[in-house]
Amino acid sequence: MTINIQTSITQALQKGFGAVLETPWESIDPVLKKSQNQEHGDFQANGAMGLGKRNGQNPRELAEKVIEHTDFDGLVESSEVAGPGFINIRLTNDAIVMQLEAMSGECLGVTPDAGTHPVAIDLCGVNVAKQLHVGHLRATIIGDTLARLFERLGRKVYRENHLGDWGLPIAMVLERLISSGVDLDLLSLHDLNIAYKDSQLEARDDFSGVRAAENLQSGPHRFAELEEQNTGALESQTKAKAVLNALQRGDESLHLQWEKLIDCTMRSVFASMDLLHVKIGPEHSRGESFYRDLLGSVVQEFKDSNLAVEDNGAMVVRFKNRERPMLIQKSDGGYLYATTDLAAMKFRTQTLCADTVIYVVDARQRDHFKDLFDAAKLIGWDKTPDGEPIEFVHIPFGSVLGEDKKPLKTRSGSSVTLQSLLEEAIEKGTAEVIKRAEDPKSPTHTMSKEELATIGRQIGIGAIKYADLSSDLVRDYVFDMDRMVAFEGNTGPYIQYASARISSLLRKGGGVTGVAPFILQEPQERLLALQLLQYNNVLHDTVKHLEPHRLCTWLFELTETFSSFYQSCPVLKNEDPKIVSSRLRLADVTGRIIMDGLQVLGIEAPEQM
RNA sequence: GCGCUCGUAGCUCAGAUGGAUAGAGCAUCGCUUUCCUAAAGCGAAGGUCGCAGGUUCGAAUCCUGCCGGGCGCGCCA
């Protein structure tokens, strides 16, 4: 078991404060954090200011007394009071080396997460018969990264790809395909897209939905969506409803045809997932149809608890602190997506026993998830069957914008397909690799076209994913491929490049020699070591906040710290073999951590690039 | 109308629980290096943290009110 140096110092300070203030030390928070300014030391404790005030003592004097009464057990080289009462702490090199030694093993000092129950992550959110587009990009890669993060920390994860594979839109497409006589065994995604669009076009002549939107003072998005979908069209809706009814009754031949439609969509979806290097396959599909037989009982359960009441013929759940109710059954008896989501919530919490349920769905659905979570709490699905409290989280990510700062569209105004986006990324990544391979000094110079293409794909895809994950999720971001694929700055390729250079260095250095001790003489060596020690903390911090950009930022800092070290500390050329071994080990640990971190982000790390 | 969300350098973005002079990257300018290395590294400049109040020893961070952008608002998903 790895003992964390930060924890040790925190505890020492707690005891110091406890002795001076004559209170139980366990409840004291010394507010220990990394120093912002390197000149101040390695860590700083800010607790004396607040505690001094609360106990009627001068913060500076308190801090000084605390230092006198704190036994750092040889970990600390110096500790001194500064400013209004900061305690600045500098570690001994021995303490750093010891800690570094402890974390340099295979697991890189990563400790398991404390959670004992599985985590369910709703991600991707594809719709059958509809091509993947930009909107699916974020729901997919953010979800996959969070899943990888939990898995890295030893948690069991259910990736829940909640397919839109049921309901009227699907029935419309199915009806359309059957009536146009398409052979479903030879169905292509292209056919599906045409059928989808045609079924939408059929609904063009009824604008009741649009008028309703106007009357409700709906926002522009809602308006456009209704205009696009026009779900109110009478004739096609009647036909589609008949198909849906037959499906729901369990009509066998229709059901077979429905499955073919799904197979066709999913083949293409999984191909994209593969290209994106995302772990989503058939085993993660649990679509709306999975819950179709549970919907009635879910509504009944809410009725029985008096949580659902009738309103204008529909069943709604009301909440104490807001006007807006949640509609769970239509006046014609039909169910809505909210009903399906409730059924899924019950399944995830009560059957899968997840104590953390995460929804990676864009920010526009905030209200819906607020309702869903509150309804789940009302009915009692906020505890697992064995009594563990459940945490519900919606990750409300922002939109991907074009250069005009409006949601990304093609020149003709249609939404950008995921396929075309990925193709562009791969093209740019490959161009970058080929350009660099022209240099005779580059190790990629002698590579075949195919090898370069593989690396180009890894770079292009990595660039997109890193750009997406590296900023605060709730914010919109402008999609700028040239910036994403640059080898400079806070980008995926920059980090991949550092990793490749380290691989190259280790190859030339003949790998790492067993148990050579770490020697930290130069400031850059020390800084690098200190950075490496934080890896475990960063992973836990990232999972705590569910914010992948924390890991990205840290990896970028690590990469810069390493570059600085590599620039000023000769490795192979050094005349002292002990220094050579030590520096090779520093490079080795850095390289493995970068690769491990990239793995968590779902980004491949080419050996050469 | 009601609600949610975002606003930090020219651009793209970091800034847990309030802490020291608000930090990176790109772009700009300057410097170093014929190097073990796959051309990077170092430094400078650049800021009314949207605005105005408030809370306190101390606010980009917490509270209130404005301004501006985005989004959402019962029988679609």
CA gap A8, A18 in Å, rounded = 15
Q: Is A225 left (phi over 0), alpha (psi -120 to 50) or beta?
A: alpha
Residue A34: predicted pLDDT: 87
Lowest-confidence range among A109-118, A149-158, A570-579?
Answer: A570-579
What single-letter amino acid sits at A263?
Answer: D
Which of A92-106, A143-157, A243-257, A393-407 is most confident? A143-157
Four-residue CA torsion sign, A56, A61, A65, A67: positive
Q: Which nucleotide is nearest to A340 (CA to C1')?
A: B77
**Cα(A284)–Cα(A278) distance, integer angstroms:** 12
pLDDT at A205: 43
Average pLDDT along chain A:
88
Q: How far is the CA of A161 from the C1' of B34 (A)?
A: 57
Q: Which residue is nearest to nucleotide B14 (CA to C1')?
A: A553
pLDDT over 60 at A209, yes or no: no
Q: Which nucleotide is nearest to A219 (CA to C1')?
A: B72
- Look at A165-169, A347-351, A421-425 and tell me which has the smallest mean pLDDT: A165-169
pLDDT at A472: 92
pLDDT of residue A279 exceeding 90: yes
Please name which of A477, A509, A490, A495 lies closest in space to residue A585, comparing C-alpha atoms.
Answer: A509
Digit-coded pLDDT (tens) for A504-537 = 899 888 877 667 899 998 889 999 999 999 999 9
Domain ranges across chain A: 5-91, 117-164+262-397, 167-249, 418-601
**pLDDT greater than 90 at residue A211:** no
The total of other beta-carbon atoms located within 10 Å of residue A514's CB is 7
Distance, CA of A549 to CA of A128 (rounded, Å): 31
Superfamily the domain A117-164+262-397 falls into: HUPs (3.40.50.620)
Residues near A597 by beta carbon (within 8 Å), at least 6 away in sequence: A535, A551, A554, A555, A558
Inter-residue contact A268 to A320 (CB < 8 Å): no
Tell me A439's DSSP state: S
A339-361 mean pLDDT: 97
Q: What is the ipTM of this complex?
A: 0.93
At position A504, the amino acid (one-letter code) is: S
Instruction: Tell which wins on pLDDT, A152 or A411.
Output: A152
Query: A376-434: per-residue pLDDT in tens?
Result: 999 999 999 999 999 999 999 999 998 888 888 887 878 889 999 999 999 999 999 99
- Is residue A108 a contact partner of residue A596, using CB atoms and an 8 Å limit? yes
Task: List the nucleotides on chain B closer than 7 A to a protein CB.
Answer: 1-7, 12-17, 19-20, 23-27, 35-42, 57-58, 69-77
Which range is least confidently modeled, A55-69, A360-374, A402-416?
A402-416
The mean per-residue pLDDT over the stretch A323-351 comes to 94
% of chain A surpassing 90 pLDDT: 58
Nearest residue to B18 via alpha carbon and C1': A50
**What's residue A203's pLDDT?**
58
User: Which amino acid does the sequence have at A421?
Assistant: L
Residue nearest to nucleotide B23 (CA to C1'): A36
Closest CA to A11 of A30, A37, A24: A30
Work out the percent of chain A whose per-residue pLDDT is above 70.
93
Predicted confidence band of residue A235 (pLDDT cuts 50, 70, 90): low
Helix (H) or strand (E) holding A314, with range, is strand A314-317
Higher pLDDT, A563 or A207: A563
Task: Look at residue A1 and tell me whether its pLDDT is greater than 50.
Answer: no
CB A195 within 8 A of CB A236: no
Can you give the distance from the CA of residue A363 to the C1' of nucleotide B3 in angstroms?
14
Answer yes or no: pTM beyond 0.90: yes
Query: Which amino acid does the sequence have at A485?
Result: V
Q: Which of A287, A271, A278 is nearest to A469 (CA)?
A: A278
Is the pLDDT score of A554 beyond 70?
yes
With a cut of 60, say whether residue A225 has pLDDT above it: no
A179-197 pLDDT tens trace:
888 888 888 888 888 888 7
- For residue A394, the SS3 value is strand
Q: A117-164+262-397 and A418-601: same fold?
A: no
* A382 CA, B74 C1': Å apart: 25
User: Per-residue confidence at A146, pLDDT binned at 50, 70, 90?
Assistant: very high
Three-state DSSP class for residue A335: strand
Between CA A59 and CA A133 the distance in angstroms is 57
On whether the CB atoms of residues A443 and A504 are closer than 8 A, the answer is yes
Q: 């699905």: which residue's tokens? A: A381
| Residue whose entry in the numeric block shows the structure tokens 């879910």 | A298
Taking the C-alpha atoms of residue A60 and residue A80, their distance in angstroms, rounded to an integer, is 10
Distance in angstroms, CA of A420 to C1' of B40? 34
pLDDT higher than 60, residue A119:
yes
Q: Which CATH class is domain A5-91?
A: alpha beta
Residue linked to tokens 């239509």: A330
Q: Tell me, in Å, how far CA of A139 is from C1' of B5?
A: 18
Mean pLDDT in residue range A232-251: 78
C1’ B49 / CA A82, Å: 26
Q: Between vectors from CA A207 to CA A202 and to CA A208, what angle results, nearest 5°?
A: 120
Give A276 or A240, the one with higher predicted confidence.
A276
Instruction: Considering only CA atoms, name the residue closest to the C1' of nucleotide B25.
Output: A489
Residue A27 burial class via C-beta count within 10 angstroms: exposed 0-12, middle 13-18, buried 19 and up: exposed
pLDDT at A356 over 90: yes
pLDDT at A544 > cutoff 70: yes
Contact (CB, 8 A) for A314 and A179: no
Distance CA A70, CA A173 (A): 72
Give the full edge-to-edge strand order of the sheet including A314-317: A308-311, A314-317, A326-329
Q: Distance (Å, rounded) from C-alpha A505 to C-alpha A326? A: 60
H helix or E strand, kind and range, residue A535: helix A535-545
A544 closest-nt by C1' vs CA = B16
What six digits make up the tokens of A530? 């200190």
**Residue at minimum CA to C1' distance from nucleotide B33:** A567
Specify which residue's alpha carbon is closest to the C1' of nucleotide B20: A83
Question: Who wins on pLDDT, A205 or A190?
Answer: A190
Rounded to whole angstroms, the Cα distance separating A437 from A609 reads 8
Residue A176 — very low, low, confident or very high, per pLDDT cuts 50/70/90? Answer: confident
Q: Does domain A418-601 have CATH number 3.40.50.300?
A: no
pLDDT of residue A200 exceeding 80, the answer is no
Distances (CA, A) of A193 to A127, A190, A247, A258: 12, 5, 21, 15
The CA dihedral of A54, A58, A59, A63, to the nearest 10 degrees, is -120
Å between CA of A16 and C1' of B2: 53
Residue A543 reports pLDDT greater than 50? yes
Euclidean distance between CA atoms A193 and A201, whole angstroms: 12
- Closest CA-bearing residue to C1' of B7: A475
Paired residues of A393 in beta bridges: A358
A448-492 tens-digit pLDDT: 999 999 999 999 999 999 999 999 999 999 999 988 999 889 999
Of A519, A598, A594, A596, nearest to A107 by C-alpha is A596
Could you tell me the distance in Å between the CA of residue A77 and the C1' of nucleotide B42?
A: 28
